Amino acid sequence: MKTLKKLTSSKLGSRKGATMLEYALIVSMISIAAIGSLPILKNKISQSFSQTASSFQ
């Protein structure tokens, strides 16, 4: 029974590092997607601000 507890606890410890790695990969993919979409959104946002500014004049 003690051997089973040792195996279980060692597997849980290694899973903790794997979970952190998975979260890091998710965050990096989201960051890459956000940075990649900035040039596309830049023009649309600029046009939106220009239209809003011209409507106030």
Select from 30, 33, 9 the least CA-distant residue to 22. Answer: 30
By residue range, what is the domain housing residue 50? 1-57
36-56: average pLDDT: 90
12: pLDDT confidence band, cut at 50, 70 and 90?
low
How does pLDDT run across 15-27, given as a tens digit for each residue? 666 788 899 999 9
Full-prediction pTM beyond 0.85? no
Q: How many domains does the chain have?
A: 1
CA gap 45, 32 in Å, rounded: 19
